[in-house]
Homo-oligomer: A and B are copies of this chain.
Amino acid sequence: MSSSVGSRGEILDLIARRRDGWAMPGGFYAHPGVYDADMEYLFRRQWVFVGHSCQVKNPGDFFTVTIGNDPLILMRADDGQLRALYNVCRHRGTLLCWDDCGHTRRLTCPYHQWSYERDGSLASCRGMHDQVQDQQLDLLQAHLQELEGMLFVCLAESPPDFTAASELIGPVAAPQGMADAKVAKIVDYEIAANWKLVWENNRECYHCNVNHPQYIKANFDHFNQDDTTEQVQERIDQQTRRSEEKWQHQGLAASHRSTGMALFPDADQDLWYSANRTVLVEGYISESMDGQQVAPLMGDYPDPDVGTLRIRTMPNFWNHSSCDHVVSTRLLPTGPGSTQARVYWLVHPDAEEGKDYQLETLMPFWQLTSEQDWELCEFAQRGVQSNGYRPGPLSIHKEYNVDGFIRWYLQQLERGLTEDPSG
């Protein structure tokens, strides 16, 4: 009747109805047609974070991930290279691998035992007639990029450029040592909210004062242009000066010097990636409950006093790294009103649980912060679906990145809709 959004024209109308500086119309968060478009024009075209290379250190190690309807196996082959193989047999389409992760000599389909080498090439299809050998029946592959141990997949035939992202993020991330790390813990969540609401939540700290009592003790982000006192700015300046004096030669100096969040994403410059180092509050050397170190130093860090490293890539990844541990968050939409979130905790590869670190001190800071956010997103979802929802104004001081996210998202969506000849 009144409000279904199914066709390209209807979504373009919805895009046109969005008012600059204000939240998005409700249709963007609830309608199956928009979800389909999001999957088609964003998640199947862009670089999607899928996991960490340290999850698959040795040839034959693999983990699986499903983007939309597309199941993939991230497998390290005998040449040491990682590949993103479609987890779908070339014979009759059966899911090859039923595990979340593991180690295997070959991928053998449980149905008719077609088997594939670790690089995806067909090894055997015993029982087929001879002519079949002439067919190209290796596993399909998606594009894959590894960047300092972070793995990004692109399902499109022609993926967008990755070089610029790599050049910006690489040097900032390198000292963290993520490529040679150890997964201490993975926690999966199913959030009853559209993935864009999760990003809008992530892109501002306006909600932090009341909702994140742990987070605000360690960080300056919740101060913004409008509520940064002289004393607060002086604290930041002092911390930043100290960082620069100490680290400028090692490339570990804080690059983010003001209160508030770094600008991201940036629709004008089409920037879907970002990385920077920022200071923690005085007395905090790690994003932990009491600010103290909770695991051995990682990577090349000479001492714990390195602030925090932050990386984000659209459409589905953010990362907060302290001197002693890494926390990555991966989003995967599963429907118009549901998103799977996976949170990873990484530590030094030699760190032993129970001896060098305890999950009880490593995890709570980001576990609590994440879960506080998911709940807010779920209540946002319930409201924006209603006829009583009217998009409201975004705070210039506190929600510039929410506006930035919306502008970036609508740009991608509009581009996809207008370029697609078949859509």
Contact = CB atoms under 8 A, between A and B. Distances in A.
Interface string A398-423: 10001000000000000000001011
A383 B87 contact: yes
A384 interface: yes
Interface in A68-94: 68-72, 86-94
Given A1-B423, A376-B111, A422-B2, A388 B87 contact: yes
Contact of A384 (B8, B23, B93, B207): B93
B1 A210 contact: no
Interface string A50-75: 00000000000000000011111000
A229 interface: no
Contacts of A94: 376, 379-380, 383
B379 A110 contact: yes
Nearest to A7: B1
B384 A226 contact: no
A259 B72 CA distance: 38
Contacts of A1: 8, 33, 36-37, 40, 420, 423
B383 A71 contact: yes
A398 B91 CA distance: 13
B135 A393 contact: yes
B95 A387 contact: no
B71 A382 contact: yes
A102 B17 CA distance: 37
A255 interface: no
A406 to B, nearest CB: 11
18 contacts: A1-B33, A1-B37, A2-B422, A23-B92, A26-B93, A44-B387, A71-B382, A86-B388, A87-B388, A88-B389, A93-B383, A96-B383, A112-B206, A113-B210, A127-B226, A127-B227, A135-B393, A137-B393
* Interface pairs A-B: 9 shortest CB-CB: A86-B388, A93-B384, A91-B392, A93-B383, A88-B383, A93-B389, A1-B36, A95-B379, A95-B383
Given A2-B422, A86-B388, A93-B384, 20 more contacts: A1-B33, A1-B40, A2-B36, A2-B40, A23-B91, A26-B93, A87-B388, A90-B392, A92-B200, A95-B382, A110-B211, A111-B376, A111-B380, A127-B395, A129-B226, A132-B393, A132-B395, A137-B393, A140-B390, A155-B387
